[in-house]
Chains A and B, each alone.
Chain A
Amino acid sequence: MTDLSQNPAGAAPRKHGGSLLEKSPHTRKRNAAETRFKAYGIAAITAGLIMLLVLVTTIVGKGTGAFQQTFVTLNVELLEAKLDKKGNRDLADIKKVTTFGYAPIIKGAMEAAIEDLGIETSLKSKELAGILSKDVAAQLRDYVIANPDQIGQTVEFRFLASSRVDGYLKGRVTRDSIVNDKNISAEQLDLVDALAAAGVLEKTFNLDFIFGADASDARPEAAGIGVSMLGSLFMMLVVLALALPIGVAASIYLEEFAPQNWLTDMIEVNISNLAAVPSIVFGILGLAVFINYMHLPTSAPLVGGLVLTLMTLPTIIISTRASLKSVPPSIRDAALGVGASKMQAVFHHVLPLAAPGILTGTIIGLAQALGETAPLLLIGMVGFIASNAPETLADGLLAPNSAMPAQIYEWAKRADPAFYERAWGGIIILLLFLVTMNTLAVILRRRFERRW
C-alpha cells in the first residue's frame, strides 16, 4: 500500500493551502499563459490566412481578364486582285503577298461591315482597321495559304480586337485614360460601342491564351502561354528522367549499402548543403558547364531541365532517404532471414514500401522546379522565344523555348499594360499546376503510406 491510497484525495494537506476547487494563483498564471499561447497561434494562423486571401484575390482579380478576349466577327471578301493577281492559284505566287498586302482587304472588310450595320462614323479606313489586332493580317494570310480555293469568295472570320479595345471592354482602358494615347481615339471607342451594340464585337472566353504562342510587343492580345507550357513540360520530363533514377539510386546506396565513415558523412552534409544553395547558382553553373563547355544549345529546354535536375536532386535524395529509413528493420531482417540477398531484400521489400514516400518527394521536387525562374534567366530562356510550337521530341528538347515562370517574368517587363494582365493570367495557370501537383502528392501519401 502506498501513501497515496492511504490519504483520501481531498484530505491531503495542500502545499499552498486552500481548496482544490479554487485555482491557486500559480495555476491561474499557468492557465493564462496557455490561453495566451493559443491566442498567439490563432493570430499567426489568421495573419497567414489573410495574406493568402489577399494574394489569391489579387491574382484572381487581376488575372481572370486574361482568359477573356474581345473578338470581332467580320465578313471578309478575299479579293483576287490583291491576293492572286495572276489568278492561277499558284501557292508560290500567293505566298509572295506579305501580311502588309492584306491591309487593304482588312480595311475594306471593316468599311463594308460598318455600311451593313448602318453605323455613322467619321473615321478613316486606317483608323477603322485600328480597332483590330495586328494579328489579323497573319490570320488571314494563313487561311488563304491553307485554302487557296477560297480566293474571290467572302468568308466569315472571327478576329481579335486590339489590346486597347479589349482593355476598354474590360474596364482597364477608359475614355479618361486615353486622352494622350495615340494608339486609340474617343471616336474609335464610339465605334466600338456601336459594334458591341450590334453584336459584332463581343468579349468571350479565349482558349488561345492557354494554348497559344507568345506574341510580339505590338500585339499583346494574341499572346498565349501554351508554347512555354510545352517548354516547362519538356523540362520536367528531363528532370523526371534524370533526377528520379539518380536520386533514388544514390539514396538506396547511401542508406542501405554504404559503410558509415567520414566520407559518407561528408557526402551527407554536402547533400543537405546543396538543397539550400540558391537556384541562381545552379543557373550560373549550367551556363558555364552545359552551354559554354559542353556546347549544348542556348534557350533549350534540355539545358533548362539539366539545370533544374541539379536543383531537384537534393530534394529527392533527402525525401527518399527519409522514406527508406522509415521502413522498419524487421522487414529487412525477415527478408534476409529467409535467405534473400541484401539487394533482393532492398528491391523486393524495402523499396516498394518506401515508394509512396519517394513519389511524394519527387512530385514536390518537380513542383519546386516547375516554378523556378532564376536559373532560366541565365541560360537564355527569357525574351521573345516561345513562338514556335515544337513538333517532335528532339525539337521539344533542343529548339529554343521558354518556360511558364520565365514567360510570366517576360510579360511583366513589357511596356503594354495588356501584357501585365497576361502575366497575372499566367500566374493563375502556374498556380493551378502547382496546386494540382501538391494535392496529388498529399493524396498519394494518404492513400499508400503505411505506418508501423
Chain B
Amino acid sequence: MSFVKLTASALAISAVSATAAAARDQVQVAGSSTVLPYASIVAEAFGENFDFPTPVVESGGSSAGLKRFCEGVGENTIDVANASRQIKDKEIAACAENGVTDIIEVRIGYDGIVFASDINANSFEFTPTDWFLALSDKVMVDGELADNPNTTWADVNPNFPAVDIQAFVPGTKHGTREVFEDKVILAGCEATGAFEHLLAHAEGDTDKAKHKAAEKACIALRTDGKSVDIDGDYTETLARIESNKDGIGVFGLAFYENNTDKLQVATMSGVVPSTESIATGEYPVSRPLFFYVKKAHIGVIPGLKEYAEFFVADEVAGEDGPLAEYGLVADPELTETQEAVSNETVMGGNS
C-alpha cells in the first residue's frame, strides 16, 4: 500500500502546487496556422539563444487565437496572438471589454497565396476574372446577372483546357479565405462589370451600405460542388488534389515551396509567385502577417518582450533570415516595426 500512498501524496502535492505555482515561465502563443511555422521557427531559435524556455505555439486559426487573446489579462491567458489578417474593430472592442486595452501590433512580413494544380495535370495562367467566372455564384450573362453557367475551364476562358472546374478553397474560418475573396474574386467581379450591376441594384440607405451589399454579393461562391471549402490545413487540400487531378487548390507560398515535387503553380495576371515578385508587389495576391502582444504581460511573463524583439530582428525576419528562407516575404519597413516593438508602441497611437 505504500506505493499507493506515495503516489497519492505526490499527486496531492502537485495539485496544491498547481494553484500556487501557476506562475508561468514560458511565453504562450496561439493563433493562425499560416503564422504557426514562422512562429515555431522563431520560438525554437529563441529557446536556443536565450536562457528563457522555448515559447509554446498553438495553432487553431486567426480568429480563435484573437478570441483567446481577448479573454483577459493574466497568466491563464495567452501572451501573443498570431494572425494572418489585421485585428478587427469588433475584436479590439471585445478585448477592451475584458480589460485587454494595450495591444502591440507587429507586422512580421508578407505571405503569398498561390494557385496550384497537380504536377502532372494542366498548367494555368489565371487572372482574377477567370476565378470570378469559375467560382462566383452569379455572373453576368448577356448584360444580366444569372446563375453561373460555366462547368469547364474552357467555358471560363477559351485558352484553358476543357476540364471540369474543381477548386479547393480555404474555409471561412481561415484568414486566407478573406484575402482570396478580396484580391481575387472581388477584383474579378469588378473587372467583369458584375460589381457595377450589383451596386446599381443594391439595397441600402447610404452609398456605403450599398457598396458593402454589392461586395458581399460579389464574393458569394457557387454552392453546386464546383468550389469546395477546405476547413482543414493545406495538407488536406493537397490530398484532395492528389486524388482529383483536375482539382486546383489555394495554398500558401511556403507550403507550395515545400511540395514542388507534387504541385505546379499557376501564374496570376502573368506573374509567377515567388518571394521576389511578392516583395516587389507585382504578384497581386499577398497579405501581411501579424502578431499581437499583450502589453500588460510584458515584465510579468519572462521573455515576452525579448521574444517579440527577436521575432522582428534583422537576422530572423530580415531578407536573409530563416523566415525568408522558409517562404516569408520580408517586410521592407522592418526597421520601423523593430522600433515600435522596442518602444512598446500600442495600437491607437498613445503608448
Question: A240: nearest residue on chain B (CB-CB)?
Answer: B7
| CB atoms of B11 and A387 under 8 A apart | no
Q: Which residue of A lies closest to B238 (CB)?
A: A415
Q: Taking CB as reference atom, which chain B residue is nearest A215?
A: B44
Residue in B58, B233, B325, B326 with the greatest tally of chain A CB atoms within 10 Å = B58
Whether A397 contacts B261 by the Cβ 8 Å rule is no
Bound-state CA distance A99–B45 (Å) is: 8
On chain B, the residues within 8 Å of A241 by CB distance are 7-8, 11
Q: Is A327 an interface residue (CB 8 A)?
A: no
A417 at the interface (CB under 8 A from B): yes
Q: Is the CB of A383 within 8 A of B30?
A: yes
Majority secondary structure, B binding face: helix
A385 B261 Cβ-Cβ under 8 A: no
A contact residues around B21 at 8 Å (CB): 394, 398
- Complex Cα gap A218–B235 (Å): 17
Question: With A216-B41, A217-B40, A241-B7 known to touch, is A298 a contact of B76 (CB < 8 Å)?
Answer: yes
Q: Could you list 10 examples of A-B contacts with CB < 8 Å?
A: A95-B51, A141-B48, A181-B260, A216-B44, A217-B37, A295-B22, A302-B14, A380-B30, A382-B59, A414-B37
Q: Chain A contacts of B24 at CB under 8 A?
A: 297
Whether, in the assembled complex, B322 has its beta carbon less than 8 Å from a beta carbon of chain A, the answer is yes
Complex: A318 Cα to B44 Cα, angstroms: 45
Q: Given A415-B235, A417-B258: A388 and B18 within 8 A (CB)?
A: no
* B292 at interface by CB-CB < 8 Å: no
- Which A residues have a C-beta under 8 Å from some C-beta of B? 95, 98-100, 134, 137-138, 141-142, 173, 176-183, 215-219, 237-238, 241, 291, 295-299, 302, 380, 382-385, 387-388, 393-394, 397-400, 412-417, 420
With contact pairs A98-B49, A98-B315, A100-B315 given, residues A384 and B40 touching in the complex (Cβ less than 8 Å): yes
Counting residue pairs across A and B whose Cβ atoms lie within 8 Å, the total is: 142
A173 touches B37 (CB 8 A): no
Bound CA–CA A397/B10 (angstroms): 11
Q: Once the chains bind, are A388 and B54 in contact (CB under 8 Å)?
A: yes
Which of A398, A412, A420 counts the most chain B CB atoms within 10 A? A398
Least CB distance from B19 to A in Å reads 8
**In whole angstroms, what is the CA distance A99 to B60 when docked?**
30
B127 within 8 A of A: no
Q: Is B54 in contact with A383, judged by CB distance below 8 angstroms? A: no
Beyond A100-B315, A384-B40, whether A297 also contacts B22 by CB under 8 A is yes
In contact, B40 and A400 (Cβ under 8 angstroms) = no
Known: A380-B58, A383-B56, A384-B40. A393 touches B76 (CB 8 A): no
What's the minimum C-beta distance from A323 to chain B, rounded to whole angstroms?
Answer: 20
Q: Are A302 and B44 in touch, CB under 8 angstroms?
A: no
Tell me the complex Cα distance, A104–B194, Å.
57
Contacts of B13 in A (CB 8 A): 394
Listed from nearest, the 4 A-B pairs whose CB atoms lie closest are A177-B261, A384-B40, A217-B37, A383-B58
Query: In whole angstroms, how far apart are the Cα atoms of A399 and B26 in the complex?
Result: 9
Interface residues of B in 38-85 (CB under 8 A from A): 39-41, 43-45, 47-49, 51, 53-54, 56-60, 75-76, 78
The answer to the question of B255 belonging to the interface, with a C-beta cut-off of 8 Å to chain A, is yes
> How far apart are the CA atoms of A180 and B13 in the complex, in Å?
57
Contact A298 B258 (CB under 8 A): no
- Known: A217-B41, A241-B7. Contact between A138 and B48, CB under 8 A? yes
- Of the candidates B11, B233, B254, B264, the one having the most CB atoms from chain A within 10 angstroms of its own CB is B11
- Cα-based distance from A447 to B10 in the complex (angstroms): 32
Provide the main secondary structure of the chain A interface. Answer: loop
Give Cα distance in the complex from A394 to B23, angstroms: 12
A384 interface neighbour in B11, B48, B57, B261, Cβ under 8 Å: B57
Q: A178 vs B45: C-alpha distance in the bound complex, in angstroms?
A: 27
Closest A residue to B51 by beta carbon equals A95
Size category of the binding interface on chain B: 35 or more
B246-262 vs A, Cβ < 8 Å mask (1 yes, 0 no): 00000000110111110
User: Do residues B259 and A99 form an inter-chain contact, with CB atoms below 8 A?
Assistant: no
* Partner-A contacts on B (CB < 8 A): 7-8, 10-11, 13-14, 17-18, 21-22, 24, 26, 28, 30, 33, 36-37, 39-41, 43-45, 47-49, 51, 53-54, 56-60, 75-76, 78, 232-235, 254-255, 257-261, 264, 315, 322, 325-326
Cβ contacts under 8 Å, A388 to chain B: 26, 47, 53-54
Cβ of A216 and Cβ of B43 under 8 Å apart?
A: yes
Bound complex: CA A322 to CA B281 (Å): 69
A126 nearest in chain B by CB position? B320
Q: Are B326 and A217 in contact (CB under 8 A)?
A: yes
Query: With the chains together, A99 CA to B7 CA distance in Å?
Result: 42
* Bound: A218/B264 CA distance, A: 22
Asked whether, in the complex, the Cβ of B57 is within 8 Å of the Cβ of A218, the reply is no
Contact of A383 among B11, B26, B57, B325 (CB under 8 A): B57
B322 touches A134 (CB 8 A): yes
Judging by beta carbons under 8 Å apart, are A182 and B257 in contact? yes
Which A residues are CB-close (under 8 A) to B7?
237, 241
Chain A residues near B326: list those with CB within 8 A: 217-218
Question: Closest Cβ of chain A: how far from B63's Cβ, in Å?
Answer: 16
- B255 and A415 form a contact (CB under 8 A): yes
Complex CA–CA separation, A403 to B3 (angstroms): 26
**Cβ-closest chain B residue relative to A398:** B18
Closest-by-CB residue of A relative to B71 is A292
> Do A415 and B37 touch across chains, with their CB atoms under 8 A apart?
yes
* Chain A nearest Cβ from B348, distance in angstroms: 28
A393→B54 contact, CB < 8 A:
no
The residues of A that contact B54 with a CB separation of less than 8 Å are 387-388
Tell me, in angstroms, the Cα distance from A141 to B24 when the chains sit together: 26
Q: How far is the CA of A298 from the CA of B28 in the complex (A)?
A: 9
Given contacts A384-B40, A393-B14, A299 and B261 within 8 Å (CB-CB): no
Which residues of B sit under 8 angstroms from A291, Cβ to Cβ? Answer: 76
- Minimum CB–CB distance for A133 against chain B, Å: 12
- Nearest Cβ in chain B — how far from A142, in angstroms? 8
Contact B43 A299 (CB under 8 A): no
Which residue among B49, B232, B260 has the maximum number of chain A CB atoms within 10 Å of its CB?
A: B49
Q: Is the CB of B22 within 8 A of A385?
A: no
Across-interface contacts of B56 in A (CB, < 8 A):
299, 383-385, 387, 400
Residues of B with C-beta under 8 A to A182:
257, 260
CA distance A382 to B94 in the complex (A): 26
| Interchain nearest-CB distance for B34 vs A (Å) | 11
CB contacts (< 8 Å) of B78 on chain A: these are 298
A400 and B28 in contact, given A99-B48, A383-B59, A388-B47 (Cβ under 8 angstroms): yes
Asked if B44 and A387 sit within 8 Å, CB to CB, the answer is yes
Instruction: Give chain B residues whose Cβ lies under 8 Å from the Cβ of A399.
Output: 26
Cα A173 to Cα B261 with chains together (Å): 9
